[in-house]
Amino acid sequence: MLEKLFKLQEKGTTIRIEVIGGITTFMTMAYIIFVNPAILSVDFAGNPTGLSLEAAMLATCLAAFVATTLMGLYANFPIAQAPGMGENFFFVSVVMTLTAMGVADSWKVTLSITLIAGLIFLILSLLKFRKAIIDAVSPSLKNGIAVGIGLLIAFIGFQNGQVILGSEGTLVQFNTNLLQAEPIIFFFGLFFTAALFVRHVRGAIIWGILLTTLISIIAGKVQYSGIIGLPQDHAFFRFDLIGALKVTCIPFIVVFLFMDMFDTVGTLIGVGEQMGIMEDNKLPGANRALISDAVGTVVGSCTGTSTVTSFIESVVGVQYGARTGLASVITGLLFLVALFFTPIVGMVGRYLPITAPALVIVGAMMVRNVHKIDWEDYSEAIPAFLMILGIPLSYNIHDGLAMGFIAYPVIKLLAGRGKEINWLIGLVAVLFILRYVLVKI
């Protein structure tokens, strides 16, 4: 049955290789089970978003299980999926923006926005219209988005570790009292995790999180609350579709759509190259993978989490030898099993210095895309730079993206290079401008 379903011999693999490959991939990305709920349940200022930690943990595991298993059974790719880093920060950013606009239950509106973006992604994938969307944004802007979000993620990691503090005069300042428990735990976790990365230890981030959790328990900062247990809360179908369909929410929908497509396509290409199956820079059967990803986002929003996307950590399983969707099925099942360890996730998520090192490490991984920006072409480099600088300084992914998306067509037009502007980018720029104008009205 497995041979018929996954074509193991044709792909040059075995059940044992696929199972171990799936377990390996899970170990490298299991940190999302701890980090995603911690991010979604608290905004950047430390205030509750309205989405509880246990509900976010339940949604994270269920969405990852459904999306990854579907990727394995339908697309037959060894690619795992879960709520994406970057997308979850944008989710919180939108919640904060809508709250500042006076929107009630903004997290429910944001879940609705995620649902709409996922449905659009699914329709575009079914109609094979994705190429127009992907080609609309230049490589420099795509990589500028990743770098800017990476800097914000790392910045929040330093804040959560209480290494960077607020300051009235300079907005932020370095904490000169590093002998407190929080900075000590943070730096221990950061250096330990970084050392594991240097040594190419699989699951470096998850091992770092588990070790800092143990240290936090010993230091009396975290109370042990058990190992086995299921989530006691959920956010199933907590939508406010009427609020999400307002004109001011359209830019959010577009950005969610773009981010999901960029992440997914980039991961597919990376994994395809590692597997050696790319043909003319295209991945055979990629449309099934895109459909699986889109379904994952829809399921994620219905259960209560941010956009689901393909994880580049899947490459680790491929490096071990995984070549079929059987590895994804194994990874998906492990996400389902993780639901029974909710107390551990609760301990980790409620004490921010534990997950703070992981944010810095993930931020470092995202910033490496900076070399892909065309720095020789200032009409590309300046908008990308405005995104990179605007996202962390505005403390808002949406506002940082607006700087780049608005600047891009304006600079191109003033430089006499209007023909290089894709009409979709022009539309997005107009939508961003309208969003700010309508908020003032």
349 versus 422: the higher-pLDDT residue is 422
Of residues 297 and 424, the one with the higher pLDDT is 297
Q: What confidence score (pLDDT) does residue 133 get?
A: 66
Q: Is residue 261 part of a domain?
A: yes
Q: Is the pLDDT of residue 440 over 60?
A: no
pTM beyond 0.75, yes or no: yes
Q: Would you list the DSSP string of 132-188?
A: HHHHHS-HHHHHHHHHHHHHHHHHHHHHHTTSEEEETTTEEEE-S-TTSHHHHHHHH
Decide if 66 is inside a domain. yes
- Count of domains observed in the chain: 1
Round to whole Å and give the CA distance between 78 and 357. 28
pLDDT band at 317; cut points 50, 70, 90? confident
pLDDT, tens digit (0-9, with 9 covering 90-100), for 218-257 = 988 888 878 889 888 999 999 999 999 998 888 899 888 8
Q: What is the mean pLDDT of residues 194-203?
A: 89
Q: How far apart are CA 3 and CA 263, in angstroms?
A: 30
Residue 418 belongs to some domain of the structure: no
Any domain includes 50: yes
151, pLDDT greater than 50 = yes
Give the helix/strand (H/E) hosting 402: helix 397-414
Mean pLDDT of the chain: 88
pLDDT 10s digits, 49-99: 999 999 999 999 999 999 999 999 998 999 999 998 888 999 999 999 999
End-to-end CA distance of the chain: 62
Residue 93 in domain: yes
Quote the percentage of the chain above a pLDDT of 70: 95
Residues 144 and 365: their CA atoms lie apart, in Å, by 14
Spatial neighbors of 282 by CB under 8 A, at least 6 apart, are none
| Residue 139 in domain | yes
Q: How far apart are CA 302 and CA 58, in angstroms?
A: 12
- List pLDDT tens digits, range 400-426: 888 999 999 999 999 999 999 988 888
Using DSSP's 3-state secondary structure scheme, residue 341 falls into strand
Q: Is residue 95 part of a domain?
A: yes
Which residue is associated with the tokens 């905004």? 43
393 lies in some domain: no
Residue 198 predicted with pLDDT over 90: yes
Lowest-pLDDT range of 19-23, 188-192, 202-206: 202-206
Q: What is the pLDDT of residue 132?
A: 67
- Closest by alpha carbon to 66, among 52, 79, 82? 82
CA max distance for the chain: 67
pLDDT confidence of 441, banded at 50, 70, 90?
very low
Give the pLDDT of residue 94: 93
**17-22-23 Cα angle (round to 5):** 100
pLDDT of 130: 62
Q: Identify any residues that bridge with 173 across adjacent strands, giving them in sequence order.
A: 165
User: Is 290 in a helix, a strand, or coil?
Assistant: helix
Percentage with pLDDT > 90 across the chain: 42
Please name every residue paired with 165 in a beta bridge, in sequence order, or none if there are none: 173
Q: Residue 275's domain spans which residues?
A: 2-367
